Chain A
């Protein structure tokens, strides 16, 4: 194993946890909701293999039961945002009863207004971030649109990093047993606090000396 892939494997063991991933998704929708003082915010992520968007996270409601719902990747406002790669804002969505019904079935909530932005990293589209029902105010500004784009960009970069480490972790878990042990040890070490960590490191260094002999 090369140094690089070894480091990647250890890093994956440390940061690729499902709990970290769920926390990041939750944090993104909570911050998006707060930035725009909105009622709700949600994320759909693209499952490329199934060619579907998966409803992954929601802020603004305790009702999380519809998380995991899937929609075809190019339908609805989310799908349209994904395939055109263009952010957009719609103010009076209640005018479209067909859309409202579909969205209600998928997400349990019918928005009046929606801001929808693609999550793009380099050339890949990861999914769509939506901010629902921010306070109605006259003169929606292009600065808000730019802010939405900037925040979506940051969110996409963070998501991409975690998705990569999840994939590395999955590859690792399917790999050789000795690498898995090392990654597990690295993850355990990472969770220790100062004194314990220092002691554990001394122990590992001693082990390394023994192994080298």
Chain B
């Protein structure tokens, strides 16, 4: 079930033609070249929920769950299109091998169920980075994220964080690489007074919890670093052995935003992470006084 490298995002089509045709990166725009980077994407006069989401199912969007694995047989999760386990060598180079074990603790299955509930036709790919102990968890997390970014997933759900400063720089590089590669990283914010990553980076979409029982409702936070609040309290979740549980935590708010990103991406595949974040801001429930 391993994903083929380079089997990229659903839509790569609008990437700059100038950049593709040259051997050198486009550091500057030559005279008369403006036509070559003309953007044909037709934005509406006003970005609304209907424009962003109506009729969207997540179809064609590849969502990666960077977590403890995903139970492929759970009715709330449905089909899992890919599942790998990440191991790293002494230099931190990741290897992805087929994962036959499913979920080791329930966390990844819970996240996948939320995403499936919002975006029923998206592809779900499990990348297992948790479960091999605490000591090696940092390098495996980095290796898993590196692998996921290389695969060009459309959305990567990270309901986890690390406090290790030694990993912050590499995580930052990977987050930026994803951002420019059109992969949307959605990461859980920390509601504890410690420095942690990658949610603090501006190239990811960071998520905290609101306490309303509405999975489609989310708010833009005008006071970052947490950028969005989604449903994270008393959420019914897929669990091990086909069960469901109710749980609270930013870990479960995060896949709500991942699911909404998958919906927007499926309807508007050409959106870059920066544009998609802007769309989320424009359709948030507190935007323009629309929060009742």
B150-166 interface bits toward A, Cβ cutoff 8 Å, 1 = contact, 0 = none = 00000000011111111
- B134 & A74 in contact (Cβ 8 Å cutoff): yes
| Set of chain B residues within 8 Å of A93, measured between Cβ atoms | 245
- Minimum CB distance partner of B239 in chain A: A96
CB of A59, distance to nearest CB on chain B (Å) = 22
Question: What is the predominant secondary structure among interface residues of chain B facing chain A?
Answer: loop
**CB-contact partner of A87 in B68, B131, B249, under 8 A:** B249
Residues 107 to 161 of chain A near chain B (Cβ within 8 Å): 117-118, 120-125, 139-142, 145-146, 149-150, 152-153
**CB-contact partner of A86 in B135, B159, B234, under 8 A:** B159
Complex-state Cα separation, A73 to B161, whole angstroms: 16
B180-206 interface bits toward A, Cβ cutoff 8 Å, 1 = contact, 0 = none = 000000001011111110000000000
- A95 & B243 in contact (Cβ 8 Å cutoff): yes
A41-83 interface bits toward B, Cβ cutoff 8 Å, 1 = contact, 0 = none = 0000010100100000000000000000000111111011011
- B163 & A84 in contact (Cβ 8 Å cutoff): no
- A149 & B105 in contact (Cβ 8 Å cutoff): no
- B160 & A85 in contact (Cβ 8 Å cutoff): yes
- If the complex has contacts A84-B107, A90-B245, A96-B243, are A51 and B134 also in contact, measured as CB distance less than 8 A? yes
CB of B126, distance to nearest CB on chain A (Å) = 15
Complex-state Cα separation, A86 to B165, whole angstroms: 17
Q: Is there a chain B Cβ closer than 8 Å to A37's Cβ? A: no
A25-39 interface bits toward B, Cβ cutoff 8 Å, 1 = contact, 0 = none = 000000000000000
- If the complex has contacts A48-B135, A125-B163, are A142 and B193 also in contact, measured as CB distance less than 8 A? no
Q: Is there a chain A Cβ closer than 8 Å to B221's Cβ? A: no
- A153 & B194 in contact (Cβ 8 Å cutoff): yes
- A145 & B248 in contact (Cβ 8 Å cutoff): yes
- B249 & A123 in contact (Cβ 8 Å cutoff): no
Complex-state Cα separation, A204 to B117, whole angstroms: 74
- A89 & B134 in contact (Cβ 8 Å cutoff): no
| Set of chain A residues within 8 Å of B104, measured between Cβ atoms | 74-75
Complex-state Cα separation, A77 to B247, whole angstroms: 12
Select the residue from A46, A83, A91, A140 with max chain B CB neighbours within 10 A: A83
CB of B197, distance to nearest CB on chain A (Å) = 10
Q: Is there a chain B Cβ closer than 8 Å to A88's Cβ? A: yes
Complex-state Cα separation, A77 to B104, whole angstroms: 11
CB of B256, distance to nearest CB on chain A (Å) = 15
Complex-state Cα separation, A125 to B193, whole angstroms: 13
Q: Is there a chain B Cβ closer than 8 Å to A92's Cβ? A: yes
Question: What is the predominant secondary structure among interface residues of chain A facing chain B?
Answer: mixed
Complex-state Cα separation, A91 to B247, whole angstroms: 6
Complex-state Cα separation, A88 to B237, whole angstroms: 13
CB of B238, distance to nearest CB on chain A (Å) = 11
Q: Is there a chain A Cβ closer than 8 Å to B57's Cβ? A: no
- A84 & B130 in contact (Cβ 8 Å cutoff): yes
CB of B40, distance to nearest CB on chain A (Å) = 42
Complex-state Cα separation, A72 to B104, whole angstroms: 12
CB of A51, distance to nearest CB on chain B (Å) = 4
Q: Is there a chain A Cβ closer than 8 Å to B122's Cβ? A: no
Q: Is there a chain A Cβ closer than 8 Å to B113's Cβ? A: no
Complex-state Cα separation, A142 to B249, whole angstroms: 9
- A117 & B133 in contact (Cβ 8 Å cutoff): no
| Set of chain A residues within 8 Å of B137, measured between Cβ atoms | 74, 83
| Set of chain B residues within 8 Å of A98, measured between Cβ atoms | 240-241
Select the residue from B196, B245, B249, B250 with max chain A CB neighbours within 10 A: B249
Q: Is there a chain B Cβ closer than 8 Å to A99's Cβ? A: yes
- B192 & A152 in contact (Cβ 8 Å cutoff): yes
List, sorted by A's number, 28 A–B pairs whose CB atoms are closer than 8 Å: A48-B135, A51-B134, A72-B133, A73-B135, A74-B130, A74-B131, A74-B133, A79-B105, A80-B107, A83-B137, A84-B107, A85-B160, A85-B162, A86-B160, A86-B161, A86-B188, A86-B250, A91-B234, A91-B245, A92-B245, A97-B241, A120-B194, A122-B194, A123-B195, A139-B211, A140-B234, A150-B193, A153-B194
The 9 closest A-B pairs by CB, nearest first: A88-B249, A73-B134, A84-B160, A149-B192, A89-B248, A91-B246, A51-B133, A123-B163, A90-B247
Q: Besides A86-B249, A140-B233, A153-B192, 13 other CB < 8 A contacts?
A: A51-B134, A73-B134, A79-B105, A80-B68, A80-B107, A84-B251, A85-B190, A91-B245, A91-B246, A95-B244, A139-B211, A149-B193, A152-B192
